[in-house]
A and B are shown apart, each in its own frame.
Chain A
Amino acid sequence: MKIAGFLLLLSGWLLVLAAVMLLAVPASRLCFVLAGVGVEILGLFLVFRAHAPLAGERH
């Protein structure tokens, strides 16, 4: 889950970069940039989940 999370973070960033580089129409660029950020948020959620220890492990 941790690796998947970091891969999603990286993918989201690449999506944002691609949107900036390839799309000229402001509306579509904006959509793809926000989609990229959404992917990053999903990745961040997974990384947080992967690092949250189970209740017994916290002690």
Chain B
Amino acid sequence: MPATFPALSEVGMAICIFLILLVPLAIAGVALINTGFVRSRSAAHAMLSTLCVVAIAAGVYFVCGFALEGYAGRPMHAISIAGKQWSWLADEKFFFRGLELDGSPASLAALLQIFGVGLAAAIPLGSAADRWRLGASAAAAVLLAGCIYPLFAHWAWGGGWLAQLGVNYSLGRGFIDCGGAGSIQAVGGLNALVILWILGPRRGKYSVEGIPAAIPGHNTVLVLFGCLLALLGWVGLNSAGAILFTGTIPARVVLIAVNTMLSASASALTSLLITRIRFGKPDASLVANGWVGGLVASCAGCAFMEPLAALLIGVVAGALVTFSIQWLELIAVDDTVGSFSVHGLCGLWSLLAAGLFAHVPGAAPGQWIAQVVGIATLLGFVLPLSYGLNLLLDRVLPQRVPPEGERQGMDLHELGAGAYPEFVTYTEDFIQR
């Protein structure tokens, strides 16, 4: 990755702004998916949590996130090891001071990430739905947006040491992550796993013998509509990210959009096929997860790979999502929405796949090793850091709702009113006639 990127032309800037403004649709999609997958008694809580967490993440990113993350070619802290510069943190000012919001690549990157960090913070909400307190999820979003996200995003996107692996050690073009497979999806997905470990499964999810019970979501239509909405957001995220963080020309947006669509389609159809074979009928929730998993899997190398490779990546993502969701359930990781499988695992797969299938122009051999170093950093640094911070938070502010709240539903317990106040269940409807 070069130390800095050239300024965009006016047309390029306009395209980039349009693409960035699509990204909130990804957040809207994830919010609908999270809400549809929870029980009706926690629906308003799920949607409100997403809104609060996105708002807090944006605020924290404005206060200190960008200051820690920075952008390639701007001031940063670096240490010299064996004559190589290892940039580990940006040296920007807080509150966006020193950043001209004038359409420069750095300002567009800041705009993209105000949305991106919100998306990363919304991912754990799906995993921990039905039992994660609103206050605790907001505090966890502060940790994510103020510390975990900016740190890794600087290394990968802000001209940090991962991005410089190509220049310093001739490992391909350095770590590449066009659409945030690592910075947004894997960071959010690993954070979701950490929260799941801390909270434990929902009450009633497992019998005394340890057999998992199915707790279906209350609105599959919301989930599936969220998937379609997310597609637009992901096209924006992948395209704008590729332009701003890898120097891709705006004309390649066509290739990126095709790859994104193909990966999602292949992944959803693979999930559909697997569930059809295993259960006799397609499982709507797993197909929806497969679709989003495909979107996530397309992120890292979308600007540098052939459409056929995107198709293959989607097939693997679909299988990965379908099997991992069921496997996690068996080992007592009660992921309500499947966020860890969809965003965490598929994000990691996307990074690896970029190393295997991407043809980065002018890159030295060894691209996949740079990608593996990035994956190792996510597992070996980001995951323990996230766990430590959230465990500390849990000591100060208990994250799990009391048993009474879980029985009552998050809406009544935390908000005092349900999402569907006129929703009445007539018991006669359930009497067999």
A-side interface residues toward B, CB under 8 Å?
Answer: 6, 9-14, 16-17, 20-22, 26, 29-30, 33-34, 36-37, 40, 43-44, 47-48, 51-56, 58-59
Q: How far is the CA of A45 from the CA of B207 in the complex (A)?
A: 24
Known A-B contacts A6-B384, A14-B380; A37 and B375 likewise in contact (beta carbons under 8 Å): yes
User: Is B277's beta carbon under 8 Å from chain A?
Assistant: no
Nearest 6 CB-CB pairings of A with B: A13-B380, A58-B206, A55-B210, A16-B376, A51-B197, A6-B384
Q: Contact at A13–B197, with CB atoms within 8 Å?
A: no
By beta carbon, the residue of chain A nearest B82 is A21
B-side interface residues toward A, CB under 8 Å?
Answer: 81-82, 84, 165, 169, 171, 197, 200-201, 205-210, 331-333, 366, 369, 372-373, 375-377, 379-381, 383-384, 387
Q: Contact at A33–B369, with CB atoms within 8 Å?
A: yes
Q: Contact at B381–A10, with CB atoms within 8 Å?
A: yes
The smallest beta-carbon distance between B47 and chain A, in angstroms, is 29
Q: Which of A40, A44, A52, A56 interacts with B331 by CB under 8 Å?
A: A52
The smallest beta-carbon distance between A4 and chain B, in angstroms, is 12
Q: How far is the CA of A45 from the CA of B213 in the complex (A)?
A: 24
Q: Which of B82, B332, B379, B381 interacts with A58 by CB under 8 Å?
A: B332
Which of A20, A22, A58 has the most chain B CB atoms closer than 10 A to its own CB? A58
Q: Contact at B379–A12, with CB atoms within 8 Å?
A: yes
Q: Contact at A33–B372, with CB atoms within 8 Å?
A: yes
Q: Which residues of B contact A20 (CB under 8 A)?
A: 165, 169, 171, 373
Q: Contact at A6–B165, with CB atoms within 8 Å?
A: no
Q: Which residues of A contact B205 (CB under 8 A)?
A: 58
Q: Which of A22, A33, A51, A55 interacts with B333 by CB under 8 Å?
A: A51
Q: How far is the CA of A42 from the CA of B175 in the complex (A)?
A: 24
Q: Contact at B333–A16, with CB atoms within 8 Å?
A: no
Q: Contact at B206–A59, with CB atoms within 8 Å?
A: yes
Known A-B contacts A12-B379, A13-B381; A58 and B201 likewise in contact (beta carbons under 8 Å): yes
Known A-B contacts A20-B169, A29-B369; A12 and B376 likewise in contact (beta carbons under 8 Å): yes
The smallest beta-carbon distance between A57 and chain B, in angstroms, is 9
Q: How far is the CA of A21 from the CA of B80 in the complex (A)?
A: 11
Since A55-B208, A58-B205 are in contact, a sample of 10 more A-B pairs with Cβ atoms closer than 8 Å, ordered by chain A residue number, is: A9-B383, A12-B376, A12-B379, A13-B376, A14-B380, A16-B373, A37-B372, A51-B197, A51-B332, A51-B333
Q: How far is the CA of A48 from the CA of B387 in the complex (A)?
A: 13
Q: Which of A12, A21, A48, A56 interacts with B380 by CB under 8 Å?
A: A12
Q: Contact at B332–A52, with CB atoms within 8 Å?
A: yes
The contact sample of 15 A-B pairs, CB cut-off 8 A, is A9-B380, A13-B380, A16-B372, A16-B377, A20-B171, A33-B373, A40-B380, A43-B380, A44-B379, A52-B331, A52-B333, A55-B206, A55-B210, A56-B208, A58-B207
By beta carbon, the residue of chain B nearest A9 is B380
Known A-B contacts A13-B377, A33-B373; A59 and B208 likewise in contact (beta carbons under 8 Å): yes
Q: Which residues of B contact A36 (CB under 8 A)?
A: 376, 380
Q: Which residues of A contact B82 (CB under 8 A)?
A: 21-22
Which of B201, B207, B377, B384 has the most chain A CB atoms closer than 10 A to its own CB? B384
Q: How far is the CA of A50 from the CA of B381 in the complex (A)?
A: 19
Q: How far is the CA of A25 from the CA of B169 in the complex (A)?
A: 11
Q: Which residues of A contact B366 (CB under 8 A)?
A: 26
Q: Which residues of A contact B200 (CB under 8 A)?
A: 53
Q: How far is the CA of A43 from the CA of B383 in the complex (A)?
A: 11
By beta carbon, the residue of chain A nearest B197 is A51
Q: Which residues of A contact B381 (CB under 8 A)?
A: 10, 13
Q: How far is the CA of A59 from the CA of B204 in the complex (A)?
A: 6
Q: How far is the CA of A58 from the CA of B169 in the complex (A)?
A: 48
Q: Contact at A40–B333, with CB atoms within 8 Å?
A: no
Q: Contact at A30–B369, with CB atoms within 8 Å?
A: yes
Q: Contact at A58–B210, with CB atoms within 8 Å?
A: yes
Q: How far is the CA of A47 from the CA of B369 in the complex (A)?
A: 25
Q: Which residues of B contact A13 (CB under 8 A)?
A: 376-377, 379-381
Q: Contact at B376–A33, with CB atoms within 8 Å?
A: yes
Q: How far is the CA of A56 from the CA of B210 in the complex (A)?
A: 7
Q: Which residues of B contact A34 (CB under 8 A)?
A: 372
